[in-house]
């Protein structure tokens, strides 16, 4: 069996995430040797790769169940779905640069590795006429400049961005929070079909039969920003998925731009907070294009240094004030929890996130399933209690 299919099989095993697979590949020394894993018992996996007996058992059980792979491969063929793995040459280059990129991506339509100037446009599901007007003003100009618009396919700003792209005869990518066989939201089925008809892409990091669980969306948001060179936020509440996507973009070293709005509108709060903490204030598509050009040149000049989260606007003043968007270890000091009360799963997660921790380790410590853990992490992220670092680890947020 080729390593491509072994990686696909590993991605389908419950509670086995990218961190574990990356560790297996690093220990083996060559991704081509992944097929040897089928010969290991759980005890041998634990001893050879230094993983816990529980994780080794999950791995051995999953690898022994070839039906996982066979059924997914059959669905891929039946529905003419394209796919690749992070270890393959055709994996999108920008997405590969984020820490712990998704093991597998699935898509229909245009290959995501072929995008030119991909720009994420995100915002509130409750967007109003103001958000619609901003999309109509910004997106066609971005398309004319050769950009590909990436968004999440949700109602509100996402849908407006996809539609504005199609009306401008551009290319757009819908990054789903579900598998390609369960398109969500259902109300956008015609829009998704139109995206494909006009040369765009429907993309997912989830296996084909995955339903749109709330816990899927933090990972989806991270991919929207990871596929893009920059992120434009239009109408976002203080605590929202769009704000999370912008923070992911910042932590991935991407440009972050935000459109201001009426000061008495709750949907302006998230954008204003991003601008206050250094996101570029956007009044036209030219602002976005100039920022992307500057940021690309700036990153090219810093290839041998850690990513600097900064953005110089037309006045050449530092823009990204990381104190508001990136938390220091001092700010992540543990809060006191009374030992007399048993902790809820959510409280336990926050406690574990006192120091940066991988999702694999969180699963092991909480004994929650991948789906259950992701749903709680999503709720805690929206509530502003935890955040995901540039390294893809989870930590407490003040």
Q: How many residues would you count in the chain?
A: 398
- How far the first Cα of the chain sits from its last, in Å, is 47
Q: How high is the pLDDT of residue 218?
A: 85
Q: Shortest CA distance to 157 belongs to which of 126, 119, 196, 188? A: 126
* 121: CB partners within 8 A, 6+ apart: 135, 138, 139, 149, 150, 151, 157, 158, 161, 231, 232, 234
Residues 185 and 317 in one domain: yes
Q: Give the residue from 55, 75, 95 where a domain finishes.
A: 75
Q: How high is the pLDDT of residue 239?
A: 84
Q: How high is the pLDDT of residue 136?
A: 96
Q: How high is the pLDDT of residue 274?
A: 93
Residue at 218 is within a domain: yes
Residues 221 and 355 in one domain: no
pLDDT in tens, 78-87: 999 999 999 9
pLDDT in tens, 307-335: 333 332 333 333 333 333 433 333 334 44
Q: How high is the pLDDT of residue 124?
A: 95
Q: How high is the pLDDT of residue 305?
A: 45
Residues 153 and 263 in one domain: yes
Residue 80 corresponds to which tokens in the numbers above? 């003419």
Q: How high is the pLDDT of residue 167?
A: 97
Q: How high is the pLDDT of residue 394?
A: 83
Q: State the chain's mean pLDDT as an integer.
A: 87
Element spanning 203, H or E: strand 201-204
- Provide the phi-psi class of 283: left if phi over 0, else alpha when psi is between -120 and 50, else beta: alpha
Residues 219 and 249 in one domain: yes
Q: How high is the pLDDT of residue 203?
A: 98
* Secondary structure class of 127 (helix, strand, coil): coil
Residue at 181 is within a domain: yes
Per the structure, how many domains does the chain have?
Answer: 3
Evaluate whether 87 touches 31 at the Cβ level (below 8 Å): yes
Q: How high is the pLDDT of residue 298?
A: 66
Residues 9 and 151 in one domain: no
The β-bridge relationship of strands 104-109 and 82-85 is antiparallel
H helices present in the chain, as ranges: 3-12, 18-28, 42-49, 53-64, 66-78, 93-96, 129-144, 157-167, 189-197, 217-226, 241-251, 269-276, 285-300, 322-325, 345-352, 359-366, 370-382
Q: How high is the pLDDT of residue 281?
A: 96
Residue at 58 is within a domain: yes
Residues 158 and 275 in one domain: yes
Q: Give the residue from 270, 298, 325 where a domain finishes.
A: 325
Residues 316 and 337 in one domain: no
Q: How high is the pLDDT of residue 324?
A: 36
Eight-class DSSP state of 113 = G
Query: What is the domain extent for residue 36?
Result: 3-75
pTM, entire model: 0.79
Residue at 83 is within a domain: no
Residue at 9 is within a domain: yes
Spans in the chain with pLDDT lower than 50: 303-340
Residues 261 and 168 in one domain: yes
């Amino acid at each position: 069996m080729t390593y491509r299919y072994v990686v696909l099989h590993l991605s389908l095993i419950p509670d086995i995430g990218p961190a574990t697979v990356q560790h297996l590949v690093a220990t083996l020394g060559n991704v081509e040797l992944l097929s040897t894993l089928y010969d290991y018992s759980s005890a041998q996996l634990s001893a050879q790769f230094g993983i816990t007996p529980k994780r080794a058992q999950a791995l051995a059980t999953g690898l022994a169940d070839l039906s996982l792979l066979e059924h997914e491969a059959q669905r891929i063929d039946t529905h003419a779905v394209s796919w690749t793995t992070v270890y393959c040459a055709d994996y999108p280059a920008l997405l590969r640069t984020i820490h712990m990129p998704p093991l597998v991506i699935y898509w229909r339509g245009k290959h995501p590795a072929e995008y030119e100037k991909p720009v994420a446009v995100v915002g509130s599901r409750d967007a109003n006429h103001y958000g619609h007007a901003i999309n109509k003003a910004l997106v066609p100009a971005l398309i004319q400049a050769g950009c590909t618009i990436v968004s999440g396919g949700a109602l509100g700003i996402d849908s407006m961005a996809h539609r504005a792209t199609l009306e401008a005869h551009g290319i757009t990518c819908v990054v789903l929070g579900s598998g390609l066989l369960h398109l969500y939201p259902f109300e956008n089925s015609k829009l998704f079909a139109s995206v494909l008809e006009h040369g765009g892409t429907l993309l997912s990091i989830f296996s084909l039969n995955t339903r749109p669980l709330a816990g899927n969306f933090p990972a989806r948001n991270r991919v929207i920003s990871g596929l893009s060179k920059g992120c434009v936020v239009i109408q976002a509440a203080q605590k929202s998925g769009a704000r999370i996507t912008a923070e992911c973009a910042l932590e991935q070293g991407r440009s972050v731009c935000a459109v201001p709005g009426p000061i008495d509108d709750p949907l302006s709060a998230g954008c204003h907070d991003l601008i206050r903490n250094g996101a570029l204030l956007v009044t036209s598509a030219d602002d976005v294009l100039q920022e992307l050009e500057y940021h690309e040149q700036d990153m090219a000049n810093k290839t041998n240094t850690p990513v600097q989260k900064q953005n110089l606007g037309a006045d050449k003043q530092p823009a990204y004030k990381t104190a508001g968007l990136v938390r220091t270890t001092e700010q992540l000091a543990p809060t006191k929890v009374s030992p007399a009360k048993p902790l809820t799963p959510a409280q336990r997660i926050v406690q574990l996130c006192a120091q940066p921790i991988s999702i694999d380790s969180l699963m092991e410590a909480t004994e929650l399933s991948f789906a259950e853990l992701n749903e709680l992490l999503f709720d805690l992220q929206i509530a502003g209690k935890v955040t995901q670092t540039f390294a893809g680890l989870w930590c407490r947020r003040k």
